[in-house]
Amino acid sequence: MDRKLLIELSSDGKSGVRFPPCDVLTKPLTELFPDDYLRENPAELPQVSIPEVVRHFVNLSTLNHHVDKAMYPLGSCTMKYNPKVNETVAGMAEFTELHPLQSAQTVQGALRIYKDVENYLCAVTGMAGFTLQPAAGSHGELTGVMIIRQYHKMKGNKKNIILIPDSAHGTNPASVAIGGFDVRQVKSTKDGLVDLDDLKENIDEKVAGFMLTNPNTVGLFEENVVQISRMIHDVDGLMYMDGANMNALLGIVKTANAGFDITHLNLHKTFSTPHGGGGPGSGPIGVNEKLLPYLPVPVVREKDETFYFDWELPQSIGKIHSFWGNYGVILRAWTYIRMLGEDGLKKVSQGAIIGANYLKKRLEDVYQIAYEKTPMHECVFSGDRQKAKGARTLDIAKRLLDYGVHAPTVYFPLIVHEALMIEPTETESKASLDYFADALISIDKEISENPELVTKAPYSTPVSRLDEGKANRELIIRWQDM
């Protein structure tokens, strides 16, 4: 069905909007903006009725895939279902009507929650302190790299290298480069773990630190992590943990005990706040005792049962966010943690691990498993068998849309050929996992019998296979009256 845009449904006299009474002083636009910034004529906004507005946005919501619609097993991204109570709390007027420039005395409840989240994350990781300022995982990475740089600067160390495994998230080397260091890559073994021999070859006095994802990017726990930490610490380097996969460790492993000096977490992944669509996100950074002086300012502290902003950290890396972080995301994470408690958080990781291993067992006879070791919260397959029969991993991903399921991450990690990276999360039932596994098995059968059925998919979506190169070159992002 050809769905019309709101501007095409518009006709004079219809109204689908009622604004609440304005509760602030108003001024004409001509007093607020120079003439050059004002339109000569009013904007041509659509005039539509309330039913038309509601139907328009409900219909739009069904065009794209989202976790409220069906399973979203995007590997390394933890696209779990978000409890709607999170939204209720974050939408309370007591929070939405606060302003970040209010004095600390007027926002004591908000600061208590802020400090609660810091304390909860310390309890989960074993770190000594956290900053909630970073607005995304990559922003957290950069913050961690800046702390590494500051640590070595204050000690007078002349170091310019940060080590990164060849399986790392793409943002890791980018964050290192932006933070002023050079990247040195460390190989993985055939088992998918850090190659200790190659690591030894790459460690010298120039090494400032090691950025390691654990469980790593192929879903395996780095079983030599304590030994790796000792090797890095022997040259006065720092261990940084990319916590994108922390959904596998809650209540099971405290990262401080594994020798990490810095831990980054994603509230918008592990702690069930909205994820995708470009944000907002939250990528807090936790540090051990020796790195506390370098945290971004201000730090929230408590004295005499009163919370306040402490700006007096002379060795701090400075401010890394315009205000105090994405507070709405922090609120949602606070709600999630409070509702689950310590035992509930552990069950989250146990459920995620069980789900990934169940899918591995269901699919390993049909799709080639990349690594034989027992995975944690996600498992990685190769689509090489299917490619040999006439369909690539990309085609499998497109065909899954016809089964009403979003594709897993494809072609990543880069060290696995034709990679299919599946993370079911703990919020999917066994019935949901079986449906997904049956869909992948069915697609394999389709490839064997009629590969063209798969290579030309999808068929059930609003548009079918696009020329993605052309779409990128000729990007149209606004409506044009043809």
Per residue in 203-216, pLDDT tens?
A: 999 999 999 999 99
Q: What is the pLDDT, as a whole number, of residue 146?
A: 98
For residue 260, what pLDDT is reported? 98
Determine the angle formed by the axes of helices 327-363 and 108-125, rounding to 10 degrees: 30
What is the pLDDT confidence band of residue 383, given thresholds at 50, 70 and 90?
Answer: very high
Q: How many CB atoms lie within 10 A of CB 468?
A: 9
Q: What is the mean pLDDT of residues 156-174?
A: 93
- In this predicted model, what pLDDT tens digit does every residue of 31-51 receive, in sequence order? 888 888 888 887 888 899 989
Sign, CA torsion 191/192/193/199 = positive
Domain positions in the chain: 6-63, 87-339, 343-471
Mean pLDDT for the chain overall: 93
The pLDDT of 374-398, averaged and rounded, is 97
Model pLDDT, residue 39: 85
Assigned architecture for domain 343-471: Alpha-Beta Complex (3.90)
DSSP structure string for 2-68: -PPPHHHH--TT-----PPPP-S----HHHHS-GGGS-SS--------HHHHHHHHHHHHHHS--TT
**What per-residue confidence (pLDDT) applies to 277?**
63
**Residue of 442, 402, 361, 410 whose CA lies nearest to 73:** 410
Average pLDDT over residues 363-386: 96
Of 66-75, 127-136, 211-220, 384-393, give the lowest mean pLDDT range.
66-75
Write down the pLDDT at residue 338: 97
Specify the range with the lowest mean pLDDT, choosing from 9-23, 75-89, 199-213, 309-323. Answer: 9-23
CATH 3.40.50.300 fits 87-339, yes or no: no
Q: What pLDDT is recorded for position 14?
A: 87
